[in-house]
Amino acid sequence: MIKEKRQILIFTLFALIVLLAPLFLKGSYFLNVLVFIGINTLLAVALNLLLGYAGQISLGHAAFFGLGAYVSGILTTRFPVDPWMALLAAALCAALLAFVIGFPILKLKGHYLAMATLGFGIIMYIFFNETVDLTGGPSGLSGIPNLRLGQLIFDNDRNNYYLVWVITLGVMLLSINLSQSRIGRALRAINDSEVAARVMGVNARILKVQIFTISAFVSAIAGSLYAHTMTFISPTSFGFNFSVELLTMIIIGGLGSMYGSFLGAAILTMLPEFLRVFRDFDIVIYGLMLILITMFMPKGLIGGLEALFKIVINKIKGGAQNVKR
Amino acid sequence: MDHPGQLVQYVLTGLSNGAIYALIGFGFAIIHNATGILNFAQGEFVMLGGMFTIFILSFLNLPLIPAIMLAIIFSTLVGILFERLAIRPLKNVKPLSLVIITIGASIFIRGAAMLIWGKDTHALPAFSGSNPLYVYGATIMPQHLWIFGITIMIIIANKLFFSYSILGKAMRACAYNAHAASLVGIDVKIMVLLSFMVSSAIGSMAGIIIAPLTMTSYDVGIMLGIKGFCAVIIGGMSSGLGTVLGGLLLGLLESLGAGYISASYKDAIAFIILLLILFIRPEGLFKQKATQRV
Amino acid sequence: MLSVEGITQIFGGLTALEDVSFSVTPRSITGIIGPNGAGKTTLFNIVTGLYTQTEGKVYLGEKNISFFAPETLAGLGLVRTFQNVELFGQMSVLENVMVGLHTKSKSGIFSCAFKLPGQIREEKTVREKAYRWLEFTGLVDEADIAACNLPFGKGRLLEISRAMAVEPQIILMDEPAAGLNSRETAGLAELIRKIQDLGITIVLVEHDMELVMDVCESIVVLNLGKKLAHGTPREIQEDKAVIAAYLGED
Ligand SMILES: Nc1ncnc2c1ncn2[C@@H]1O[C@H](COP(=O)(O)OP(=O)(O)OP(=O)(O)O)[C@@H](O)[C@H]1O
Ligand SMILES: [Mg+2]
């Protein structure tokens, strides 16, 4: 019970900081970066539901992100569809695809699942590139309209910031709720021992497909938000490299932690923005981080921070006792 | 199908690519059977083979044969380093962690190759000139013959090694039951290292013999790696005939598909085959189903 | 209660079980014994739906449950423990038992994510029930420890608590005493009787003969995949074939 209260407190604090941040950030460039961090956090949260909770890897999540972006982009540029409707259609489309391929793909385990999702991601990438009539092919799709609410148009960094972060915070809260529930426990049980989970009555097959579907749904929302805020999309944003980048985000941040997802997304989004040299070195550094963190810090930076926090607390407590004596 | 020469040409291209896929597949199988690890970095060794050779040719000005041998040695050294630094230190980790570590290694090697050799595409000179031979209206490059010859040699050497040499037999024993193998005095750690060495050597060889035909660059490893994986999945994770057939089948389907359906979907064909096999017969086309131990 | 008819299991060339039939009466404790590799765990795996038998049928009461999935069987009140303790290591002891209550609760993904009032109420009862099972097995003090940090003996107890949370009609235990010291084994015998008193049928695979002879009302002996004998502990102890094949070895 105390644990639950503490969680509510932490989330409220986090949400307050996020929502008040624009008041203190004057430069619009930084807000722009924060919009991207928001979208990447949303994606990392989506992947974390699948990998961090249920322990099922996906190396093709950029495909759902891309599908969301393209469905939204195509519906609003080639057909007179309202952007909000397009966003919904994009999310449902990705969810449907995930549901259909989920049954055969999630029967596979470990390495095989990784390879299959990787193959799926690359097939989708080829389609984004080759169906030129629909997607515009390698040269991309431009002129995607912004989202709007009545008079409010999401066409500047401040508005986009609130658009993206309100949705991201919402999804984070729902994911945190989920982890503390019957379903969250069943997912973590599958992660630890699928056989034992099934014997306890958890329908692992269905539950894995459900969480995969939800994860794709959320990823496609992120894709749609990306398309409507950028107004231009091209296939390079949705390839294998980006799937690996997403994986790196949640490994670095911490598997199973939604704040870890934010941390990972923030680091991976900011490093190339602010460190020029980083741009050429990015994949070398991602590779190294994946290896080192998996070997030495399996709970990611968030796990590391928590451990550090505990040590500090204990030191302070110890110190206080010494003073008393 | 305008003329039969075209068909022959597609079949030829398909078979020579397929031979390469089979060799890459062998690399996957050798490590997987010794350690249970699926090495996602396998494709990078293929890339390293080609890139090292080009680098040695142009910077050290060595003749082709020594350059190739040196390149294989270098790639094998990278394989050894990889095993020593990233695989051996691990103790009872989850399969998921191994997946992530080998993916990390894969993009690390790719990134390092890009930093060192740049993003350009390079061509390796053909081993014995590029005057084509004409057979039934199809053009055969001498390099095709090299590919077939070397692949057959590697297949035979591989078979001999695992069936007749003490070392090969020891490796097979480890694959079958590592604990029992250690009880009869086989050093399992050495066998694991050896499996990484053999598979990076075979992988780099594959990369070297294909480079004169397809060009090479720092990022050819992913695609070739996944196609090799596809071959070995069809072959049921064996480093034998099944994988050779798997590779040839994949190469043929891919090249015929590219020729008669659409060249731009060539890679998609390979991946759709991969998914179908994984969905329908993950134990391979030629193997019996096994019951997963609980 | 539970009966198997003509179960045969072939792995590649190896026949792990051959034409095994027997049945278990309600509320009884039945032991299954046999040397290593006799096929005891394989039999459990077939009954609980983890393996697909080559031939043969399994009945729960009147119901033919051959080829049912494990999760369906849990819903029908058939549950088991594992020889190589299969706990949810990263989860707390309490949460492990709460997973056992999965079939006894029904909030879906939607109500869990939005914390609908029904879900909050359900969560509370699940927690209370889980605590009661921990009291039943004596693990309350460890409720908040991660399962992977539990000492081995207590891990075995947690497996039983988790299985009990499913509220089974019948529980299959695969070597629950393996790795326990003699004090823990005595406690286990007591616990097994307590479970029987709740009206639950128990099938016990065990190498600890003292325990088996002590608690079981009837015993099935397997050897090399075949049923060698079925009878009361006394009958089994006097059976010539059993002594020759099994007890004589010790
Ligand atoms: N999934 C499987 N694939 C192939 N063979 C198997 C499989 N599961 C069990 N076996 C084999 O079936 C035989 C019976 O094994 P089982 O585990 O049922 O024995 P057991 O009676 O439980 O032995 P123990 O007392 O050692 O636990 C053994 O020879 C074992 O190797
Ligand atoms: Mg057993």
Q: What is the pLDDT of residues B144-163, one digit of tens each?
A: 999 999 999 999 999 899 88
Look at strands A232-233 and B133-135 and give their pairing: unpaired
Residue labelled with tokens 């695989």: B87
Q: How far does residue C221's CA lie from ligand 1's centre (Å)?
A: 16
What is the C-alpha to C-alpha distance for residues B216 and B224, in angstroms, rounded to an integer? Answer: 11
Q: How far does residue C51's CA lie from ligand 1's centre (Å)?
A: 12
Q: Which of A163-167, A288-292, B234-238, C180-184 has the lowest mean pLDDT?
A: B234-238
Bridge partner list, C222: C227
DSSP symbols for A132-200: HHHH-GGG-EE-PPPPEETTEE--SHHHHHHHHHHHHHHHHHHHHHHHTSHHHHHHHHHHH-HHHHHHT
What b-and-e string marks burial along A176-206, b requiring 16 or more CB atoms within 10 Å of the CB? bbbbbbbbbbbbbbbbbbbbbbbbbbbbbbe
pLDDT tens per residue across span B40-59: 999 999 999 999 999 999 88
Neighbouring chains to C with at least 3 Cβ pairs closer than 8 Å:
A, B
Q: Which two tokens stand for residue B222?
A: 């992913």
pLDDT at C248: 54
- Find the residues whose C-beta lies inside 6 A of ligand 1: B 291, 293; C 11, 14, 16, 34, 36-42, 83
| Residues in contact with A313: Cβ distance below 8 Å, sequence separation at least 6, in sequence order | none
Q: Please check the confidence at residue B238 and state whether its pLDDT lies above 60.
A: yes
pLDDT at A174: 97
What is the C-alpha to C-alpha distance for residues A28 and A156, in angstroms, rounded to an integer? Answer: 9
Asked if A184 has any chain C CB less than 8 Å from its own CB, the reply is yes
Mean pLDDT confidence for A29-39: 92
Ordered by start, the domain boundaries in chain A are 5-324
DSSP B283: T
Contact A45, A261 (CB under 8 A): yes
- The domain spanning residue C150 has which CATH number? 3.40.50.300
Asked if B294 has any chain A CB less than 8 Å from its own CB, the reply is yes
Nearest residue to B31 via CA among B169, B197, B142, B152: B197
Q: Is B136 helix (H, G, I), strand (E, B) or coil?
A: coil
pLDDT tens per residue across span C66-88: 999 999 999 999 999 999 999 99
The CA-atom distances, in angstroms, between C160 and each of A212, C137, C175 are 32, 8, 12
pLDDT at C249: 53
A94 or A275, greater pLDDT: A94
Q: What average pLDDT does the structure give for chain B? A: 89
Nearest residue to C179 via CA among C83, C246, C78, C245: C83
Q: Please check the confidence at residue C207 and state whether its pLDDT lies above 80.
A: yes
Cα angle vertex A253, ends A247, A255, to 5°? Answer: 70
- Nearest chain C residue to B288 by CA: give it: C12
Bridge partner list, C8: C55
Mean pLDDT confidence for B133-149: 87
pLDDT tens per residue across span B258-277: 888 888 888 888 899 999 99
Nearest residue to C86 via CA among C41, C30, C137: C41
The values of phi and psi at residue B36, to 5°, are 80, 5
Q: For chain B, what percent of residues have pLDDT higher than 70? A: 98
| Residues 138 through 177 of chain A touching chain C, CB cutoff 8 Å | 174-175, 177
Mean pLDDT confidence for C202-215: 94
Q: Residue of the nearest CA to atom 2 in ligand 1?
A: B293
pLDDT at B188: 86
Q: Which two tokens stand for residue B227?
A: 């196609």
Query: What percentage of chain B's residues is helix, strand, coil (to nearest 5)?
Result: 75, 5, 25
The values of phi and psi at residue C225, to 5°, are 85, -5
Question: Residue A283's pLDDT band (boundaries 50, 70, 90)?
Answer: confident
pLDDT at C250: 46
Amino acid in the structure at residue A80: P
Q: Sheet holding C55-60: strands in order across?
A: C14-24, C2-11, C55-60, C63-64
C230 or B182, greater pLDDT: C230
Asked if A5 has any chain C CB less than 8 Å from its own CB, the reply is no
Q: How many domains does chain C have?
A: 1
Q: Which residues of B sit within 8 Å Cβ distance of C?
A: 288, 290-291, 294
Please give the sequence-ordered ranges of beta strands (E in DSSP) within B150-193, or none if there are none.
none
Q: For chain C, what percent of residues have pLDDT higher than 70? A: 98
C117 or A324, greater pLDDT: C117
Amino acid in the structure at residue B282: P
Q: Please check the confidence at residue A324 and state whether its pLDDT lies above 60.
A: no
In this structure, whether the domain defined by A5-324 belongs to CATH 1.10.700 is answered with no
Q: Please check the confidence at residue A183 and state whether its pLDDT lies above 60.
A: yes
Q: Residue of the nearest CA to atom 16 in ligand 1?
A: C39
Distant-in-sequence contacts of B71-75, Cβ < 8 A, 24+ apart = B71/B204, B71/B208, B72/B201, B72/B204, B72/B205, B72/B208, B74/B48, B75/B45, B75/B48, B75/B49, B75/B200, B75/B201, B75/B203, B75/B204, B75/B207
| B294/C50 touch (CB, cutoff 8 Å), yes or no | yes
| C51/B294 touch (CB, cutoff 8 Å), yes or no | yes
Nearest residue to B141 via CA among B149, B131, B151: B131
pLDDT at C158: 97
What b-and-e string marks burial along A275-307, b requiring 16 or more CB atoms within 10 Å of the CB? eeeeeebbbbbbbbbbbebbbebebbbbbebbe
Q: Please check the confidence at residue A294 and state whether its pLDDT lies above 50.
A: yes
CA C19 from chain centre, in angstroms, equals: 22
Atom of ligand 1 nearest to the CA of B291: 1
What is the C-alpha to C-alpha distance for residues C176 and C154, in angstroms, rounded to an integer? Answer: 11
pTM score of the predicted model: 0.94
* A184 chain-C contacts, CB cut-off 8 A: 112
Q: Which of A63-72, B233-242, C218-227 has the lowest mean pLDDT?
A: B233-242
B160 or C245, greater pLDDT: B160
